[in-house]
Structure 1
Amino acid sequence: MIVYYSAMRYKDKNKNEAIIQATIQLLNEIGFSEISMSKIAKRAKVSPGTIYVYFENKEDMLRKLFMNVEQKISSSMFQGVHHPMPVRERFELIMSNYIEFILNHKDEFLFYEQFCNSPLVENLYLEDSSMMFQPFYKLIEEGKEQKVLKDYDTMLMLVLIYAPVTELAKQYYRREFEFNNKNVKDLIQSSWDAVKA
């Protein structure tokens, strides 16, 4: 009896994660224009052909990579957040979780920032990915309805909340700012003050 084995290659979670991490690290080091599948394969210690088991092409890889990182950020931000909690309490927990993610995931944060500020975002960004942050959008709308938050445009509110955090995170990674307990508390308070009614 002859047994035929499928030529299909099976996906390995460890290899997939190695490819993801190698891509993020390289993008942070050399940028989007210099990245190539061969460089990623070398860094991940896999053959270039292995990458195509997980991704159709470079664009597919970048899209999936962005979604992967966005999912990690979203999951971290909303950990422990429950609707019955008051608006301010939820706001402070979300911001605290977000800052903690930034401090513990430098590569992912820098990749995310670079991707969001790249021309590629218009071609590769999937609009439905914003659904991952719906709990925060809803929190802002709820805060406006309760007159706890200013009645500003939601996008304006998000910029007032996030911009100081992301800018200080970059300074932190350049060793120009320290995220100690007092600074974190003051940063969350200043974000709240910027949007409270």
Structure 2
Amino acid sequence: MSEPKPDKQRAILDAALILFAERGFHGAPTSLIAERAGVGVGTIYRYFKDKDALIHELFRELHARARERIFADYSLEQPIRERFLFIFSRVLRMFIAEPREFRFMEQYHYSPYAPVAQAEIPEESELVRQLLAEARAQQIIKDAPMPVLESIAFGPIVALAKEHISGRQPVDDELIRLTVEACWDGLKR
């Protein structure tokens, strides 16, 4: 028996991303993913144990891709504020440039799948949390629990990305700068 072709796996992942972003996890059965990918349903199971494994693999791939995009040229030598502005400007730009990936990642973050991912992602790769923890320890930002700090940092960025993706608010460099600076100002002591 011949090995499955990797291009079929790529087609499955690409189709799953489109359908999960458009319909959600429950609204995208494997039969629809297979149809969109141009493969038989059984082919999905040659690459993935089940739909959950497909979702987790897609998350791992998108997380790694996002990390590369966001942290390219990132320097720990910069002051905390500049690092924050650098990271969150990149995050917002990525959300706007890749709306399907943004929708998938947001959906994943708020799903029962997220705790599995948290266990798999090494803590040292969580540079955003490290940055916020460092700023909190140095008393640069509020002394609040990490979920509160993350909500203050990400909330406006997520909202603006959604406004842009829906077509209600075009986003340019100046609006990105203002939004990210406002997030920083909201975190400051």
Q: Would the TM-score normalized by the shorter structure come out above 0.5?
A: yes
- CA contact 1:16–1:54 (8 Å) conserved in 2: yes
Structure 2 unaligned runs (5+)?
none
| Equivalent residues, number | 189
1:21–1:178 Cα change, 3 Å: same
Whether 1:78 aligns to 2:108 is no
Report if aligned partners of 1:24, 1:111 keep a CA contact under 8 Å in 2. yes
Segments of 5+ residues of structure 1 without an aligned counterpart are 1-6
1:138 paired with 2:107, answer no
- 1:185: how far off? 0.8
Q: Paired residue for 2:173?
A: 181
Larger Rg: 1
Do residues 9 (structure 1) and 3 (structure 2) align?
yes
Per-residue deviation at 1:73? Answer: 2.1
Which one of 32, 36, 46 corresponds to residue 39 of structure 2?
46
Q: 1:56 to 1:76 in 2, by over 3 A?
A: same
* 3-state SS, counterpart of residue 147 of structure 2: helix
Q: 1:71 touches 1:132 (CA, 8 Å); kept in 2?
A: no
Structure 2 equivalent of residue 98 of structure 1: 91
Conservation of the 8 A alpha-carbon contact between 1:11 and 1:54: no
Q: How many angstroms apart in 1 are the aligned matches of 2:149 and 2:75?
A: 21
Distance of 1:30 and 1:82 partners within structure 2: 38
TM-score by length of 1: 0.86
Query: Does structure 1 retain, via aligned residues, the 8 Å contact 2:16–2:33?
Result: yes
Moved more, 15-24 or 181-190: 15-24
Give me the TM-score of the superposition, normalised by structure 2: 0.89
Q: Percent identity?
A: 26
Secondary structure of the equivalent of 2:25?
Answer: coil
